[in-house]
Structures are given as C-alpha cells and as structure tokens.
Structure 1
Amino acid sequence: MDETEKADDRDALVEYGIDDRPPLSRSILLGVQHYLTMIGANIAVPLILADLMGMPADVTAKFVGTFFVVSGIATLAQTTVGNRYPIIQGAPFSMLAPAIAIVTTEVTIQGLPSWNAKLLFLQGAIISAALVEVAIGYFGLVGKIREYLSPVVVAPVVALIGLSLFSAGDITSATNNWYLLGLTLLLIVVFSQYLDRVSRVFDLFPILLGIAGAWLVAAVGSATGVIPAGDPAYLDFGELTTETLVYVPYPLQWGMPEFRTSFAIGMFAGVLASIIESFADYHAVARISGVGAPSKRRINHGIGMEGLANVFSGLMGTGGSTSYSENIGAIGLTGVASRFVVQIGAIAMLIVGVIPLFGRVIATIPGPIVGGLYIAMFGQIVAVGLSNLKYVDLDSSRNLFIIGIALFAGMAIPAYIGNVDAAAAEMDAVASGFELFRQGLTDVPFVGSLLGTEVVAQTLYIVGDVQMAVGGMVAFALDNTVPGTREERGLADWAAITESDDQFSSAVERVSERLGGDQPPFSGD
C-alpha cells in the first residue's frame, strides 16, 4: 500500500483525523458527544460498588462524581503524555470482578463504618496492582510481544470487545422498553447512514441527536403519564434535586488506603485483563482512525500511563481506570477521531464530576437509550475487528480454524463462569461462584493441587470472565504454534502499515528535544 492509498484510506474513514482541531464551538459539541457514549458504564461501576458496600446516598453522589473526575484527568493524561490516541479512559469492567470480591469481604477498621473500611482495602489493592502495571508498560514488556501478534490474533480480540456487551441488561432485559431502545437505534441509523449526506450536522452529531431525540420522547412520556413509573424508560425528575452545588474530590478523601496481599493479587488479575483489552483498543482506534497500527513504543507508553492513572484512581478512591471501547464506536459512526475533541470531552467530564446537578441530569438518561447506543457503537467495533482480516489469507484453513476457535472460546468460557456464579446463587450463598470454580480446578487430575491454589484459581476465574482476554490468549497460543507463513498470517502486509518506533515520541521526549537534551530513561523501548 503506497502513501497515496494510505491517505485515501484515511480520508474515507474519518472526517477529522487524530491531529485535526475542529473549530472550538463544534469541538465542544463533538466532545460532549464522545463523553455521552461512556456514561452508562462510568455510572454503572460506581453504583454497583456503592450498593455492595452499603454506601450512604450522600456519599454515593460524591463517589460517582469522583469517578468522572478521575476519568477526565486520566483521559487528558493519556491523550497528552500517554499514547496520544483519541481514546477515553474510564471505570473498567475488567477490574470489577476483583473489586466486588474485595468489597463483599468482611473487613474492619476501628472507628470507621463498614463501607469506608471496604473502600480503603479496595484502594490499596488497586494501587498495588497498578504499580506493577506501570512497570509492565514503561519497561516495555507489552511491546516486546508486539511482533508475535498478527491480524489473526488482533481481529478476534477486537471483535470480542464489541460482542462482549451483546447481553448487557440495557439491551436484553426481559422488562426492557424496546420502543425507546428501538427509537434510539433508529434515530442514530437514520442520522448517520441516511441523512449524513444531507447535512454535516447529521454527519457529525448522529449520537448526540439520537440521544436528545429519544430523551425528549421519554421525558414527555414520563411527564404525561404515558410512560408509567417503574418502566425502564421512565424519567424521575425528582432525582434532579441536589443539596450540594459543588464538590471537588481530592486524594485520600476517604482515608489512607489499606493493603492486603491476597486482595492485590486478585486485583492484578483484573489489571492483566485490562491490559489485554487496552492493547486491542489501541489497534481498534488506530484502524478506525485511518492510521497505521501502533508501534511497540506507543503501546508501552499507553499501558504505562494506564498504570499511573490506576495509581491515581486508587488514591482518589474509585474502581480503577482503563481505555474505553465506547468512543471508538463513536469514531466509526461520526468520523471524528480528533484528539482535541476527546480532550474537550475530558474537560466536560471534570465539570460533571464537580457539579453534582450536571451528573444527575446525565444520570436521567434511561437504560433503553444506553442499550440503543450499545447496539450501534459496539456493532461498529465488531466490524472494525473483522476488517483486520483483509491482511490475512482467508483461504487458509489454518487461519479460519484459529479465528473460529478464538471467537467461540471467547464467548463460551465467560458464559461458563457466569453459569458457575448463577449456580452458586441458587445454592443460597452456601458457596460463592469462585469457591465452586476453585473446587472444580482442584478435582483436575495431576495438576489440581496447582490449579486449586488461591492465586492461580483467582487469576483464572477473573481473566476467564473477560471475553477478549480468553479469545486473545487462545488466538495467541495457536497462531504462534500452528505452522504458517508471515504472508499467510498477514504479518507481511501489516508490517507495511505499522508505524515505526521513531514515528511516536512521548511528551517528555518532545520537551527534551526542544531543550536539546538526550532521550530520557525508561522511554518504553
């Protein structure tokens, strides 16, 4: 692929490239649109944890706001001094499983309520695991395996990011309001696919217009009684009241973190899954933005910065931070891959985080609207993942076998973990899902004594519940052991579009160059 073809490919994919800066007024709306794509997950994680900890309502509001502040600062850091991709950072579901295990464990700290003690142990676990992630990133461990990752591996992993949310409650709940979900999806499809050539407004803002249109319908229906209270589409306007006008979160606001080795080990399993997911996200955002695949140096800086963001998250008292797939789907729908726009969105997160009323307005967006967003955006991510197969020989039975097994295993094994949890729940909490899983490993002949240890079992249990982690490891193992040529695996063609290490420079290196200094240590090589 020559330079002209690369430029044509980029122009066909995006309206605004990574380095483009749209006019400020337009960037503000585009940034808010990017932000709105991730509200569902960034609200769901703190609410789940707050409920399990028994956190008081007034503290929960501050807890949720802190998540948005951390998300905004982490996004600014990643887009400025990290990998510099236009990708939002937010609360990770991959780290939610170990977080739930920690906050449901009975721990006590003299003089503190139960929820506060649990939160401090959660903070300690995140900080401990995050420090290892920082080392993994900046010492270049992830980048070293970059050369062993072909499109045969990356394609199913990215596709599984999109497929992982097909069963989300906002989509498949038996009591869902399919009228509102369908309306949201219909509006996004009409604006982005049919009216995009009529006006640039429809082309650039299909998500924002879709959310606004569906929200207005839900608001009118709720106010007039057409949508009854208790319906998933109902808007409770009473939730808009707040006694706190401004609350600025700060480090150690809940107290000094507490550390326990078992908690840290469990959390690292979640961090490991997060690293795998982020690795795939970097490839997805590069692909959908019309630029070359990320170099190992860019990957290392991205993972290292995510580790630092997790340390910051632990100090602030939230549930972690990682790259979000949601706004990658938004790039596909809108063609807006501008880093500047995402940074504007990060500033919007900071404002929402410190002004509780704004957060409460955002929180009124009903679940069915979020479900409609998920279908549109995560479908895009599935397609982006599969598009990497253009570099692969699809007439090769070897490649088809590996891709098929990776996709199937990536869906089946997490489903098994979910069924184990469901079986434990039916036993009236006689045993947790982890305990049942661990017992099954202990019964494995010959290696049961190793697999059944708490460290190994907990790692397998947490990582095995993350679709892209399972699919990625299966594809990686098979692609690097089953015989196949570089051309057959797509490595030859992919090498031609992968940026070289010297094409990426961190913010520290750019400042150093301007000052005439040498390359700083730990540059991610």
Structure 2
Amino acid sequence: MGYEGDDASEGDSPTGVDDPVEGGASSEGRASLVEYGIEDRPPMGTSVVLGVQHYLTMVGANIAVPLILAGLMGMPEDVTAKFVGTFFVVSGVATLAQTTFGNRYPIVQGAPFSMLAPGIAIVAAAPAVAGLPDWQSKLLYLQGAIVVAALAEVAIGYLGVVGRLRSYISPVVVAPVVALIGLSLFSAPQIVDVNPGVAGAQQNWWLVGLTLGLIVLFSQYLGDRSRAFGLFPVILGIAGAWTVAAVLSVAGVYAPGSIGYVDLRSVASAEPVYAVYPFMWGMPRVQASFVVGMFAGVLASIIESFADYHAVARLSGVGAPSERRINHGIGMEGLMNVFAGMMGTGGSTSYSENIGAIGLTGVASRYVVQIGATVMLVVGFVGYFGTLIATIPDPIVGGLYIAMFGQIVAVGLSNLKYVDLDSSRNLFTIGLAVFAGMAVPSYMSAVGDATAFQQGLATVPVVGSVLATNAVGGTLYILGTTNMAVGGIVALFLDNTIEGTPEERGLADWARIAEGDEDFQSAYDRFLRGEGTSAESAD
C-alpha cells in the first residue's frame, strides 16, 4: 500500500488513488508490504534517514571490496582510506545516474563481488610500471581492464542484447537465480568466519545474534506499533549493536584486534577531507588478457543485475521489467563501470543488499535512494565518515546479512506463485538449477584460483590447449564461481529445451502483470522529447 497522510511532501503524487506508477502498477495495486512506492516522496528529513539506511545495508560489501584489493596490492594505510572513500563517491554517482537516466528502479549501485575475482587475478599478475610504486602499477592495470570491459557492457546494454533474451526467461528461470543471490552469500566471512586465514572458524556469535535479533524485533514484532521501528529497523539494529560493541570496547571487554572491537581512536586521527577525481592514480594501462578476464566478471555482473531488476520490481509492487528498462539499466551500468575505472575503483553494479532492505522496510521510493546517494557522494570526500563506517565490526555486518539475504531468497521463491508446481519439468528445472548454482562454485573454490583451473583444463584431450587460455578457461572460471550465473545458465537451458506450455512455465500470468515497453520512459523521452509525466519530470 502507498503511504497516505501528513508525511506526503508538497508536489507529491497522492497515493491510494488512480495515479499511474511507472512500472505498470497503480498505487492501489501495489504489494501490501510497500510503505513508500517508487514514485512516492517522503519528507526530506525522513528521506535522508531512510536513504542512509539503504546505504548502510551495502556498507559491508562496499568496504570489503576495496579493503581486499588494497591488501593484495600492498597499498599504504593513508592511501587505503582514500581508496575506500572513492568507492563511496563512485557509488553515489552511479546510483544517481541509474535512478535518473538508467532503469529508474530504486536500486543502489556499488562495488561488485562478481568483478572481484578477475580483479584479484589482475592484481596478482600485473607487471611493474617504471617509476611507480608496485601498488599503483597494479591499480592502473586494474583500471584499464575495467574501462575496456565496461565498454563492451555499454554495447551489450544499449544494443538490446540482454533485453532480447527476456522472452526466453520465465519465472522458472528467475526464481532460482534470485534465490541464489541470497544463498550464495550464506558463507560470507562476516557471517561464518571473520578471520579466514586463521585455523579454526572465528566469530562473535553473540554480536551477530544481537544485531539479527534487533533487526527482527524492530521489523517484525514492533513495526506495527511504531512507524519508526517499521521504517528504520536496519539503522536501529546496526546502531544498537554498534553502541553495545563500542561500550564494551571502551570498557576493555573487547581488546584491540579482537572480534567485535570498535576502534574509536582511528576516527579522531582520520584525514578530514580527501581530494577524489578521475585518473588521480595515473592513466590506466591496458593488457588484453586482463580485459578478457574482467569481461567474464562483467558477464556475471550482468546476469546478477538482470535478476536484481526482477527482484526489486517484485518487492516494489510493480510489474516485471520491460525489455527497454533492462537494456537501459545494463547500458547505464556499463557507463558507470567506465566511470569507476577512470576513478580507480573495482567497478559498479546493482546491489542485492539494497533490495533486501526494501523487503524489510517497505521503502521502495526512488527519491529516498537518490537522497541517500547524494549523502554518500558528499561524505565520500570526508575522511571521518569512511573511517567511522570501517569501525562497524564484521559480526554486526554478518547479522545484517542474515536478515537481508534471507529476504532475497524468499523474494526469489515468491516468483513460483506464477508457475505450475505440479509440473515435473518445472520441479526438475528449479531443483537442478539451485543445486548446480551451489555445487559448481563450491567445486571451483576447492580447485583454487583461475590458474589452477586452467592447468586442469589443459589435460583435456584434443581441446585442452584452447580451454586453458585466458579467453576460454579464465571466462569459464569466473562464470563457474558465480552462483547466479551457473544457476541461471542451467535454468535457462532446461526451461527452453524441455517442452512446456506458457501457462505451465508462468509466462501467461507473468505477461498479464509485466510492464510493456511503452510503460518505461528513458531519459531521452523525458528530458529531450518531453514525454514524461510531471511526477517523473520532478525527479
């Protein structure tokens, strides 16, 4: 339901009437869990807090990626802090671009894990550049690979390659792929082992449980008693658990370096302002083998984003995305990956964490996400912010992940409401896709890195020399380590080769609620041709 009452700001489209909502659903038709729909605009103060909450859900990943890369590159501590801040600047710009000019879904953009594996391989193999520190040489080669691979993503998006596949993708395919987004992160180090390099799993389960318990308490048990609890369960849960951890750290219960310790002194000693700008580390370097490896990561990112678009549409109470919306979303992600490479980060893609937050809070407002992106863009230049965010202990992030990724799994499975679950072909396809999506990446992890995988492929008779190349073996490794890619490929193949009727596959029901291409208005339509509605133009 759209929210009605005093919180509607001046100029808002009133909810609960017959105003159109972009995406093919009216306010009356929204899912009951939606508190603020895509076109709704809460008051500014509320929007700022809600926007920051959206970003807090992805802070763990958006910090983890730069910290992993910085550690592998041997980046100095002062440079690392600026490196982390740059990721937030890129995230803010990319989110504003996607929500304004791209697919216009309320979805946060941030550092992708799908591009992290090729990034690690590039950092490990990058040659030295004369006159530059080793870490800077590695970063320049990483930048070059991202920029060139992203140009291919731009072409894939705006030429409509992904959108054309939409007619072959039914709920039987989308359900396991979206579910695998959540399932793939059940073993994230923030959940199971915050010190994976140390023998024996190590975790502060008390702090994990406290964070999860607070989020569940606010969102499920107290949400109907107070709008504050219903709207801000994530930020209240994180703040409550962080406060407890900080008090215990000051009291000496948590010693420096222990799991759960909050280093408040690091915030005081942080650099006040960072100068962040394109090519600040130097001109990117391009090596063909690195580009091929990064393109595999880009393909995995595209598959994940395709599933994300369906998940966010489902949670926002609107129809499944049209071909045009998908194309514009992927194209914009490519452009923002080019920008990310120019800025010297690890790329940009849609964030599943933000989608989980929509499920927990019912806040699907594009305006809220744009306000949050603006805040992150500004504070990304502030050293104190990045350092403060970095003090959130991993167990707190782990508790947050458990709540959100479980929600994403449920959203994926909810697509099965359109599918005939008495059909053996559907059950076989869904079950095999989910199992393969979990098993193949687990096998790849046991194999080791891309080099070890390619060495194994080299032993295959006749075609071994071809399979062992970076172009083939490297791409297969990256796709094979991505749960959504494996599950999606298996489901897509089976669903389109095993005989089944449109009603059986859920395509008939899905077609009735999906938006048409005419329902999506691109930036060109709205700004240059002036075809947008007044509500849309206000964005």
| TM-score bucket of the superposed structures, by smaller chain | over 0.9
Match of 1:342 in 2: 369
Q: Deviations over 1:230-277 (max 9, x none)?
A: 321111122113352111310010001111111101100000000000
Match of 1:415 in 2: 442
Conserved? CA contact 2:146–2:347, under 8 Å: yes
Q: Does 1:169 align with 2:180?
A: no
Match of 2:6 in 1: none
Conserved? CA contact 2:292–2:470, under 8 Å: no
- Distance in 1 (CA, whole Å) between partners of 2:50 and 2:458 is 52
User: Secondary structure of 1:365's match?
Assistant: coil
Conserved? CA contact 2:179–2:409, under 8 Å: yes
CA apart distance, 1:511 = 1.6
Structure 2 residues not aligned, in runs of 5+: 1-16, 19-24, 194-200, 533-539
Q: Does 1:150 align with 2:170?
A: yes
- Distance in 2 (CA, whole Å) between partners of 1:241 and 1:107 is 37
CA apart distance, 1:364 = 0.7
The equivalences for 1:288-303 within 5 A come to 288-303=315-330
The equivalences for 1:405-444 within 5 A come to 405-421=432-448, 433-444=449-460
- Distance in 2 (CA, whole Å) between partners of 1:77 and 1:219 is 36
User: Secondary structure of 1:165's match?
Assistant: coil
Which amino acid letter does the alignment assign opposite residue 186 of structure 1? G
Conserved? CA contact 2:38–2:366, under 8 Å: yes
User: Secondary structure of 1:93's match?
Assistant: coil
Q: Does 1:74 align with 2:74?
A: no
The 1:109/1:401 distance shift into structure 2, 3 A limit, reads same
Q: Does 1:111 align with 2:138?
A: no
Q: Does 1:513 align with 2:529?
A: yes
Structure 1 residues not aligned, in runs of 5+: 422-432, 517-525
Match of 1:502 in 2: 518
Conserved? CA contact 2:27–2:37, under 8 Å: no
Match of 1:428 in 2: none
- Distance in 2 (CA, whole Å) between partners of 1:329 and 1:265 is 32
Conserved? CA contact 2:525–2:531, under 8 Å: no
Conserved? CA contact 2:293–2:470, under 8 Å: no
- Distance in 2 (CA, whole Å) between partners of 1:350 and 1:6 is 32
Q: Deviations over 1:412-443 (max 9, x none)?
A: 0000111111xxxxxxxxxxx22221122222
Q: How many residues align?
A: 503
The equivalences for 1:443-482 within 5 A come to 443-482=459-498
Match of 2:104 in 1: 84
User: Secondary structure of 1:394's match?
Assistant: coil
**71-80 or 504-513: which moved more?**
504-513
**221-230 or 21-30: which moved more?**
221-230
Q: Does 1:393 align with 2:401?
A: no
CA apart distance, 1:515 = 8.7
Match of 2:332 in 1: 305
Match of 1:319 in 2: 346
- Distance in 2 (CA, whole Å) between partners of 1:355 and 1:82 is 28
- Distance in 2 (CA, whole Å) between partners of 1:445 and 1:7 is 60
Which amino acid letter does the alignment assign opposite residue 45 of structure 1? V
Match of 1:429 in 2: none
Match of 2:4 in 1: none
- Distance in 2 (CA, whole Å) between partners of 1:23 and 1:7 is 19
Which amino acid letter does the alignment assign opposite residue 124 of structure 1? G
User: Secondary structure of 2:125's match?
Assistant: coil
Match of 2:259 in 1: 232
The equivalences for 1:309-388 within 5 A come to 309-388=336-415
TM-score under structure 1 normalisation? Answer: 0.94
- Distance in 1 (CA, whole Å) between partners of 2:183 and 2:409 is 7
- Distance in 2 (CA, whole Å) between partners of 1:106 and 1:385 is 39
- Distance in 1 (CA, whole Å) between partners of 2:76 and 2:52 is 30
Conserved? CA contact 2:270–2:384, under 8 Å: no
Report the identity percentage.
70
- Distance in 2 (CA, whole Å) between partners of 1:458 and 1:198 is 53
Which amino acid letter does the alignment assign opposite residue 466 of structure 1? T
User: Secondary structure of 1:480's match?
Assistant: helix
Which amino acid letter does the alignment assign opposite residue 44 of structure 1? A
- Distance in 2 (CA, whole Å) between partners of 1:444 and 1:233 is 48
Q: 1:31 aligned to 36, 51, 55, which one?
A: 51
Q: Deviations over 1:278-325 (max 9, x none)?
A: 000000000011100000100000000000000000111110000000
Match of 2:156 in 1: 136
CA apart distance, 1:102 = 0.6
Conserved? CA contact 1:177–1:231, under 8 Å: no
CA apart distance, 1:7 = 5.2
Conserved? CA contact 1:35–1:348, under 8 Å: no
Q: 1:96 aligned to 98, 116, 129, which one?
A: 116
TM-score under structure 2 normalisation? Answer: 0.91
Which amino acid letter does the alignment assign opposite residue 237 of structure 2? G
